[in-house]
């Protein structure tokens, strides 16, 4: 077993102490730090970013080649950890408590006690993808512009426990909506300042989703669904297929045949995960793809209509204007004028 003992005062030191045991190199780009490992102990990366309000991001995308235990001394660095397991699984416990497994798509909130220890167990040869948002209570409360009394009583007490006198844990239900939010972080293509602003805004959105889920679960208002976790995964996988190939002539019947799910379950799954019916989701994806093509290609409106899977130009123009408050031809005209202006300035 690989044992990593952490006695850090910051997230930076935490990753540096992990590096001392498993090796690798740390790269930095605009405040985004990544530990990259490729050796006999592990393969993958750990990313971490510090934000100003006492909020930090820490992502694991790694496979350990031996069972690995990370022991955190919570005396000096003890944030509230809003964690989400995107792939694989791992286990966690506090001192003198039993281990609990954190499964794929599960949302967890953890906070240790001052002077205590937390133990995280990673299995061998299993790819682990996790997203952790660390909130430093004192700093966050000083910089927060809004009161926190809108939180439920339990989570409110955790935020006000600035002396870290009590440990706290909440092992939530699985939540595929969070998976899509977190995947957005890995798909940001922008660079520099714009990239960091997009990441930070999404981190706060993910944090709010953790809190909202906790509020629902402690009040007994869990989202009711007849779908199994495996069926929701099928819906999510097919939604990704639609994004990749929007021009296919999809229908509710054909998707049901492809997935093996009933039409009713498909509608329920899309409404639960994307707040849209199947038809509304397909239309949404095609319109977003059409806008992207307008920004990145020289296609005319008719070519774009065909490429994204619409059969009627007039219908496309109608729903495009309804969604973006501008007609497709006007959008292309503005884009061409902007491109011309930029070339003249250059």
Using alpha carbons, select from 92, 30, 24, 35 the residue that is nearest to residue 59. Answer: 35
Give the other-Cβ count within 10 Å of 51's Cβ. Answer: 17
0.75 cut: is pTM over it? no
Six-digit token string for 243: 């994004």
Sign (positive or negative) of CA dihedral 285, 287, 293, 299: positive
What residue segments make up the domains of the chain, in order of their start? Answer: 2-218, 229-345
The span from the CA of 292 to the CA of 19, in Å, is 40
Using alpha carbons, select from 275, 274, 304, 273 the residue that is nearest to residue 287. Answer: 304
Using alpha carbons, select from 120, 34, 112 the residue that is nearest to residue 69. Answer: 120
The span from the CA of 277 to the CA of 269, in Å, is 9
List C-alpha distances in Å: 207 to 81, 108, 211.
10, 11, 6
- Determine the pLDDT at residue 248: 94
Six-digit token string for 343: 């070339």
- Sequence-separated contacts (24+) of 148-156 with Cβ below 8 Å: 151/211, 151/215, 152/214, 152/215, 152/218, 152/219, 154/214, 154/218, 155/109, 155/211, 155/214, 155/215, 155/218
The span from the CA of 225 to the CA of 243, in Å, is 24
The span from the CA of 153 to the CA of 215, in Å, is 9
- Determine the pLDDT at residue 222: 61
CATH superfamily, domain at 2-218 = Jelly Rolls (2.60.120.10)
**CATH number of the domain located at residue range(s) 229-345 in this protein:** 1.10.10.60
DSSP 250: -
User: In the chain, at which residue ranges do the beta strands (DSSP E only) sit?
Assistant: 2-6, 25-29, 32-38, 42-50, 55-64, 68-73, 80-87, 90-94, 100-102, 106-111, 117-122, 128-135, 168-174
- Determine the pLDDT at residue 217: 86
The answer to whether 290 and 267 are in contact (CB under 8 A) is no
Using alpha carbons, select from 182, 228, 231 the residue that is nearest to residue 209. Answer: 182
pLDDT 10s digits, 36-86: 999 999 999 999 999 988 999 999 999 999 999 999 999 989 999 999 999
The answer to whether 157 and 214 are in contact (CB under 8 A) is no
The answer to whether 325 and 318 are in contact (CB under 8 A) is no
Helices (H) and strands (E) in the chain, counts: 12, 13
- From first to last of its 346 residues, what are the pLDDT tens digits of the chain? 999 999 999 999 999 999 999 999 999 999 999 999 999 999 999 999 999 889 999 999 999 999 999 999 999 899 999 999 998 999 999 988 999 999 888 899 999 888 889 999 999 999 999 999 999 988 888 766 566 666 778 888 888 888 888 889 999 887 877 888 898 888 898 889 999 999 999 999 999 999 988 888 888 766 566 677 788 889 989 999 999 999 999 999 999 999 999 998 899 889 888 888 999 999 999 999 999 999 889 899 999 999 999 989 999 999 999 999 999 999 988 887 776 556 555 4
């Amino acid at each position: 077993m690989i044992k990593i003992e952490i006695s850090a005062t910051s997230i930076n030191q935490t990753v540096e102490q992990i590096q001392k045991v498993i090796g690798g190199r740390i790269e930095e780009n605009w405040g985004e730090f990544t530990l990259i490992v490729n050796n006999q102990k592990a393969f993958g990366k750990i990313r971490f970013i510090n934000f100003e309000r006492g909020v930090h991001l820490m992502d694991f995308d790694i496979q350990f080649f031996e069972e690995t235990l990370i022991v955190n001394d919570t005396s000096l660095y003890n944030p509230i950890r809003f964690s989400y397991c995107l792939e694989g699984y791992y286990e966690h416990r506090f001192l003198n408590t039993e281990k609990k497994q954190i499964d794929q798509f599960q949302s967890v909130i953890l906070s240790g006690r001052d002077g205590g220890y937390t133990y995280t167990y990673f299995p061998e040869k299993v790819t682990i993808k996790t997203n952790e948002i660390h909130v430093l209570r004192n700093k966050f409360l000083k910089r927060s512009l809004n009161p926190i009394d809108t939180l439920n009583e339990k989570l409110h007490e955790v935020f006000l426990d600035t002396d870290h006198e009590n440990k706290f844990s909440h092992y939530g239900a699985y939540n595929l909506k969070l998976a899509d939010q977190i995947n957005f972080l890995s798909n940001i293509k922008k660079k520099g300042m714009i990239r960091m602003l997009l990441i930070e805004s999404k981190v706060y959105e993910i944090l709010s989703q953790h809190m909202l889920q906790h509020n629902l679960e402690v009040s007994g208002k869990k989202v009711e669904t007849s779908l199994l976790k495996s069926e929701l995964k099928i819906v999510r996988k097919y939604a990704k297929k639609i994004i990749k190939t929007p021009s296919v002539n999809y229908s509710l019947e054909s998707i049901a045949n492809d997935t093996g799910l009933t039409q009713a379950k498909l509608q329920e799954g899309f409404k639960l995960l994307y707040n849209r019916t199947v038809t509304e989701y397909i239309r949404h994806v095609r319109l977003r793809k059409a806008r992207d093509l307008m920004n990145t290609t020289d296609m005319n409106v008719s070519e774009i209509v065909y490429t994204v899977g619409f059969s009627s130009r007039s219908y496309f123009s109608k729903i495009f204007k309804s969604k973006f408050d501008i007609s497709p031809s006007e959008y292309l005209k503005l884009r061409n004028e902007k491109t011309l202006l930029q070339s003249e300035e250059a």
